[in-house]
Structure 1
């Protein structure tokens, strides 16, 4: 890395020119080809991580299952499909690949957009790569410690007086994995809001003025991707998305007022 005039170091030295002047017009086909290439890298990384985790899938399944479900015989998984266990192992491996793939995706989008970014924007984008992984892990932990126990406690309260409860491995683990993956993605909201503002794509005032539109979008996404027919999970997901969005706007307002 080369030292700049102010004594700092350019982390992107030698990769591109000094700002958007390095941005060159490219045919649409070339842009699409590069985008597909970048997405392919993300998928390859996800596949590698999934392959590494897959042999340990059964241990992870048992750990997750008996951590978030109530104890006793009622928590024992019921397998109604001959490939149920293998598919569950594949899903937990895919979840690991997805969480690790989040920062890889952010970095690949940075490489795709790099020629058109100013040096300061590149630094913001590069700093977001480790932040994405940290936020993704926090999202998984949030789902593990708070959301999933609340959902399954609600399920028991909702159903125990009307029916004998049995947890099928496939459907139940689909919900566990989906919630963890969804919250890993949901916790990226502060990162993308901060990144958009720092790069000058939008402003805090504009986001605050349009907050009801964002709330509506969050509700739609939550109910679209949640498999819970009782509505408990979508409400928790939407509430978390709105809370993260508003907390980010509040933090930005507070920082702006600070000396």
Structure 2
């Protein structure tokens, strides 16, 4: 961060000037090319992290499986597909890549938008990069400690007396990975709400006025991306999204933004 001529500070050391005043119009093709490049960087980062985690994925699968599911013989995984274990290892490695890829995605969007941002907006955006990683980890932990135990406890409660229960590795681990990845993304809601308000894209009052539209969108996302045999996960996802949204608005009201 360096001091400019007028006494203000430039968040990225003057690499691209002072914001929109120095912004130059770019052809649409160049914008699309840069956007594809930025997305490619995110995908490469996800792939690299997944590749590093993959050799240890079997240990992670054992840890997640026996810490989330009930103990005893009932929790022993059943493999019904010759590639079931390999695919499960790929999924857990991809989950790790996805969580690490969240702050990379935020940073790449910052680089894409940087020429049109004022110095203060750049500071807000750069601060959101580590915040994104922290929120993603909190989302994974929230799913691990609260959501997944609640789902499997509910499942066992209503089906243990009616049928012999067996947990297939592929289907069960699909649910575990999906919930952890989804909650890592869901926990980004406070970050993007605060970022949008701090950058002047919207106001807390407008978001509060339109909250029912956001609630409807959250319900739609929850039921679209939460396939769950118990039918419980979509409601938990939707309630979490609404709770994070409302808690963010409450904090912003408390701090006077």
Bin of the TM-score, shorter chain as denominator length: over 0.9
**Secondary structure of residue in 1 paired with 2:126:** helix
Q: Which aligned pairs between 1:7-86 and structure 2 lie closer than 5 A?
A: 9-86=9-86
Distance 1:6 1:74 in 2: 69
Distance 1:100 1:106 in 2: 11
Q: Which moved more, 1:40-49 or 1:224-233?
A: 224-233
* Aligned alpha-carbon RMSD (Å): 1.3
Distance 2:4 2:73 in 1: 65
Cα pair 2:88 2:173 within 8 Å, conserved: yes
What is the aligned partner in structure 2 of residue 170 from structure 1? 170
Q: Which moved more, 1:65-74 or 1:2-11?
A: 2-11
1:226 aligns to 2:226 (yes or no): yes
- How far off its partner does 1:231 sit? 1.7
- How far off its partner does 1:227 sit? 1.4
Distance 2:182 2:129 in 1: 19
Distance 1:245 1:5 in 2: 40
Distance 1:129 1:211 in 2: 26
Instruction: Give the count of matched residue pairs.
Output: 257
Cα pair 2:11 2:119 within 8 Å, conserved: no
- How far off its partner does 1:198 sit? 0.4
> What is the TM-score when the length of structure 2 is the normalising length?
0.97
**Secondary structure of residue in 2 paired with 1:152:** helix
> What is the TM-score when the length of structure 1 is the normalising length?
0.96
Distance 1:218 1:212 in 2: 10
What is the aligned partner in structure 2 of residue 246 from structure 1? 246
What is the aligned partner in structure 2 of residue 128 from structure 1? 128
Distance 2:208 2:173 in 1: 37
Cα pair 2:54 2:93 within 8 Å, conserved: yes
State the 4+ residue runs in structure 1 displaced beyond 6 angstroms: 5-8
Structure 2 unaligned blocks of 5 or more: none
Distance 2:230 2:176 in 1: 15
Distance 1:99 1:244 in 2: 19
Q: Which moved more, 1:83-92 or 1:223-232?
A: 223-232
Q: Which aligned pairs between 1:112-151 and structure 2 lie closer than 5 A?
A: 112-151=112-151
Change (3 A) 1:176 1:118: same
Cα pair 2:135 2:184 within 8 Å, conserved: yes
